[in-house]
């Protein structure tokens, strides 16, 4: 399979028509080999218009959704980023290539983190790393972060993630409500946090970010 051609087609047919125009992000999407973030059996689907399953029940966001979410965060070269439930770390690789000074991808699955570390190195994402941590708790020891995003949906937005934003920081998360969902961009300024709705999407819910079932007698 000609992965370079598939990558170019992904950008031209999925990303640019979705109003993604940020030059640094488009360049990163064109240059980052998404197939390296997929297991061998799934590499032929790496550039398909879908949430890519990289382990049982674990996915990379659909290319269009990831690109729109990252663009809505308005990343600035030299900022620091945190990817939540990153799986194999593709989103972190994109942000590293787009110019973030330091990016950490966290996941609760050590095996996925090991795969992410290999893929990040192989893809040339020199400012990105992968660590094992609880997605709902973020990575407080590295806070504050300028941008935080979730690789997947969330039925609830943990306060811990908002707490780890720097002043002026942004959090991107696709909030699910049943079968529907919408991307929210949270912004923190002067100790206050607000959010705006950016676009509709409904990816699988990331681990640790689902609603806790209420106890019923």
- Is a pLDDT exceeding 70 seen at residue 215? no
Give me 58's structure tokens.
């674990």
Pairing mode of beta strands 58-60, 52-55: antiparallel
pLDDT at 99: 96
- Is a pLDDT exceeding 50 seen at residue 216? no
* 144-196 confidence digits (pLDDT tens): 999 999 999 999 999 999 999 999 999 999 999 999 999 999 999 998 999 99
Distance CA 152, CA 202 (A): 9
Q: What DSSP string describes the chain?
A: --HHHHHHHHIIIIIGGGT---HHHHHHHHHS-GGGGS-GGGGGGTTSSSPEEEETTEEEPPHHHHHHHHHHT---TT-EEEEES-TT-HHHHHHHHHT-SEEEEEES-HHHHHHHHHHHHHTT-TTEEEEE--TTT--GGG--EEEEEEEEEESS--HHHHHTEEEEEEEEEEEEETTEEEEEEEEEETTEEEEEEEEE--PPBPTT-SPPPPP--
pLDDT at 217: 46
| Domain 3-200, CATH among 3.30.43.10, 3.40.50.150, 3.60.15.10, 3.90.79.10 | 3.40.50.150
Q: What is the pTM of this model?
A: 0.95
Cα separation values, 65 from 19, 20, 61, Å = 11, 10, 6
* 19-77 confidence digits (pLDDT tens): 999 999 999 999 999 999 999 999 999 999 999 999 999 999 999 999 999 999 999 99
- Is a pLDDT exceeding 90 seen at residue 5? yes
- Is a pLDDT exceeding 80 seen at residue 106? yes
C-beta separation of 173 from 149 below 8 A? yes
pLDDT at 63: 98
Q: Residue ranges per domain, the chain?
A: 3-200
Burial classification of residue 27, based on how many CB atoms lie within 10 Å of its CB (0-12 exposed, 13-18 middle, 19 or more buried): middle
């Amino acid at each position: 399979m000609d992965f370079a051609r598939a990558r170019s087609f992904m950008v031209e047919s999925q990303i640019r028509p979705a109003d993604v125009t940020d030059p640094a992000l488009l360049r990163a999407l064109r240059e980052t080999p998404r197939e390296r973030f997929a297991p061998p059996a799934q590499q032929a689907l790496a550039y398909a218009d879908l949430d890519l399953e990289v382990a049982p029940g674990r996915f990379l966001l659909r290319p269009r959704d990831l690109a729109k979410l990252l663009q809505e965060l308005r990343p600035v070269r030299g900022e620091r980023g945190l990817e939540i439930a990153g799986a194999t770390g593709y989103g972190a690789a994109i942000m590293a290539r787009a110019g973030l000074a330091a990016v950490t991808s966290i996941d609760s699955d050590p095996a996925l983190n090991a795969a992410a570390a290999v893929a990040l190195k192989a893809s040339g994402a020199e400012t990105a790393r992968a660590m094992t941590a609880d997605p709902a708790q973020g990575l407080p020891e590295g806070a504050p972060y300028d941008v935080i995003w979730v690789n997947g949906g969330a039925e609830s937005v943990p306060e811990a993630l908002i707490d780890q934003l720097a002043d002026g920081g942004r959090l991107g998360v696709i909030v699910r409500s049943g079968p529907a969902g919408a991307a929210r961009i949270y912004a923190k300024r002067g100790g206050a946090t607000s959010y705006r709705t950016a676009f509709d999407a409904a990816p699988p819910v990331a681990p640790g970010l689902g609603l806790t079932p209420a106890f019923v007698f």
